[in-house]
C-alpha cells in the first residue's frame, strides 16, 4: 500500500503556476551559489541534467543542460550524466530519498550530484506566530507552514542514496518585512505557500492573521520595527562511486597518533 502523501501535488502545481519571475530571488540565489561551488571543482562537466520546477531560472546559466521536472519518476537516463543538479524542490518532495537515488543512478562513475533546498529554521518565526495565534483563537492547530528537514537528515539522504564523499552545509539568509502580509505575498510569488495534504482547506479568518501579525511584531521585530524572517538553505553534494576516489583508512591502520605527527612536524620545522 502506498503511504499517504505529506504534500499535495495538485496544490503544488496550482501554486507554482501562480509564481512570478520577480518572486524567484531565493531560487536565483541558490542557483548562483551552486554555480559558484561548481567553479571550485577542478573538473569539467559535459553532460548536465537539472531537476527543477522552474526551468527559466537555469535557461541562461547552463543553456546546454537537460532540464527535467521534479516528478515522482524523473526523466533521467541511466548513467547518462556527469553532473546532476536538484534545484530547490526536495523540501516539498514526498520521497526525497527516492529523488536522490534516481539522480545517483543517472550519474556516470565519478559524476557529481548537487542539490539546494529550504531546510531547518526557514520561516521559523512565521510558523511560531501562526501557531500561537491559532492556539489563542481556536484552541488547536492546523499545519500552515511546511516543516523543514534539518541538515543532518538531508546529509543522511546522500549516504542512503549510495553517494560517496557526501557534503552538506547551510546558508542562513536573514531578511526583514514590513508586516506578515508582505511576507506571505512574497511566498505566493515564489510558489512556496502551504501544500501539505493535512492543511486546512477553508479560508482562514482575517482575525487569525491580524493576531499573528501582533504576535510576530512583538516577538520577532527588528530594531527598525520590521519583522525578522529567516530563510535557511542547505546545499548537498556527493559523487557517484568510482575506483579513483580516495578511500577512508581501515580501522587500526594508522601507525602514528595525532600528537606524534604534530611533534614530528614541529621538530622538522625547527631543524
Q: Where does the pLDDT of residue 1 fall: very low under 50, low under 70, confident under 90, or very high at 90 and above?
A: low
- State yes or no: pLDDT of 262 exceeds 80: no
Give the integer Cα–Cα distance in Å for 240 and 67.
Answer: 20
Which of 72, 28, 26, 24 lies closest to 51, judged by CA?
A: 72
User: Is the pTM value of this prediction over 0.95?
Assistant: no
Delineate the domains of the chain, giving CATH numbers in brackets.
9-122+147-175+228-270 (3.40.50.150)
Give pLDDT tens digits for 35-94: 999 998 888 899 999 999 999 999 899 989 999 999 999 999 999 999 999 999 999 888
Per-residue cell: 261:
605527527
Give the integer Cα–Cα distance in Å for 4 and 8.
Answer: 10
- State yes or no: pLDDT of 264 exceeds 70: no
Amino acid at each position: 500500500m502506498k503511504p499517504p502523501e505529506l504534500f499535495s501535488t495538485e496544490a503544488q502545481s496550482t501554486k507554482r503556476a501562480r509564481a512570478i519571475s520577480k518572486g524567484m530571488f531565493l531560487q536565483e540565489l541558490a542557483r548562483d551559489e551552486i554555480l559558484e561551488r561548481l567553479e571550485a571543482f577542478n573538473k569539467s562537466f559535459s553532460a548536465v541534467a537539472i531537476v527543477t520546477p522552474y526551468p527559466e531560472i537555469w535557461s541562461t546559466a547552463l543553456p546546454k543542460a537537460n532540464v527535467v521536472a521534479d516528478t515522482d519518476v524523473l526523466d533521467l537516463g541511466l548513467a547518462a550524466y556527469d553532473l546532476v543538479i536538484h534545484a530547490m524542490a526536495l523540501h516539498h518532495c514526498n520521497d526525497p530519498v527516492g529523488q536522490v537515488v534516481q539522480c545517483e543512478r543517472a550519474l556516470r562513475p565519478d559524476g557529481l550530484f548537487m542539490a539546494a533546498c529550504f531546510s531547518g529554521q526557514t520561516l521559523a518565526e512565521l510558523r511560531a506566530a501562526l501557531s500561537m495565534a491559532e492556539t489563542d483563537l481556536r484552541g488547536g492547530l492546523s499545519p500552515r507552514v511546511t516543516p523543514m528537514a534539518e541538515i543532518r537528515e538531508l546529509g543522511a539522504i546522500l549516504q542512503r542514496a549510495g553517494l560517496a564523499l557526501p557534503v552538506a552545509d547551510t546558508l542562513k539568509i536573514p531578511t526583514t518585512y514590513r508586516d506578515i502580509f508582505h511576507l506571505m505575498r512574497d511566498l505566493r510569488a515564489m510558489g512556496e505557500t502551504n501544500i501539505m495534504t493535512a492543511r486546512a482547506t477553508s479560508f482562514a479568518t482575517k482575525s487569525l492573521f491580524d493576531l499573528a501579525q501582533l504576535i510576530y511584531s512583538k516577538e520577532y521585530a527588528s530594531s527598525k520595527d520590521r519583522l525578522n524572517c529567516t530563510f535557511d538553505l542547505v546545499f548537498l553534494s556527493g559523487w557517484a562511486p568510482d575506483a579513483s576516489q580516495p578511500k577512508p583508512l581501515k580501522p587500526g591502520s594508522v601507525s602514528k597518533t595525532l600528537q606524534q605527527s604534530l611533534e614530528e612536524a614541529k621538530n622538522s620545522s625547527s631543524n
